[in-house]
Amino acid sequence: MSNIEVIGIDHGNSQIKTINEIFPTGIKEISTEPPFFEDVLEIRERYYKIGGERLEVKNTKSEDEDFKRLTYAAVAKELKHRKLQDANIVLAVGLPPTRYGAEKQSFVEYLNKPEEVSFLYEQKPYHITVAGVMVFPQCFAAVADMIPGMDSKVVAVDIGSWTVDIIPIINRKPETGSECTINDGIIPCMRDIQNESVRLFNEKIEEFAIQEYIMTGKCSLPKEFKTVIDKKLHAFAEKIMKVIREQGYSLQTTQFIFVGGGAGIIKNFGGYQQNNIRYRLDVRANAKGYETLAKIALKRG
Q: What is the pLDDT of residues 243-293, one digit of tens each?
A: 999 999 999 999 999 998 899 999 999 989 899 999 999 999 999 999 999
CATH topology (fold) of 140-283:
Nucleotidyltransferase; domain 5 (3.30.420)
Element (H, E) at 5: strand 4-8
The reply to whether domains 4-137 and 140-283 share a CATH topology is yes
Domain boundaries, the chain: 4-137, 140-283
Query: Where do the H-state alpha helices sit in 82-206?
Result: 100-112, 140-143, 186-201
Query: Where do the H-state alpha helices sit in 100-222?
Result: 100-112, 140-143, 186-201, 207-216
The pLDDT-based confidence of 82 (bands split at 50, 70, 90) is very high
Give every strand in the sheet of 86-95, ordered side by side: 4-8, 86-95, 124-137, 116-121, 40-43, 46-50, 27-30
| Mean pLDDT, residues 221-239 | 96
Least Cα distance to 253 among 277, 278, 269 occurs for: 277
| Phi and psi, residue 299, nearest 5° | -65, -30
pLDDT of residue 232: 97
User: What type of residue is 59?
Assistant: N
List Cα–Cα distances, 25 to 49, 104, 159, 231, 281, in angstroms: 11, 21, 17, 26, 20
Specify the CATH class of 4-137 in words.
alpha beta
Is the model's pLDDT at 1 over the cut of 60? no
Is the model's pLDDT at 2 over the cut of 80? no
pLDDT of residue 16: 97
Q: What is the pTM of this model?
A: 0.94
Least Cα distance to 14 among 22, 23, 25, 28 occurs for: 25
217: left (phi over 0), alpha (psi -120 to 50) or beta: left
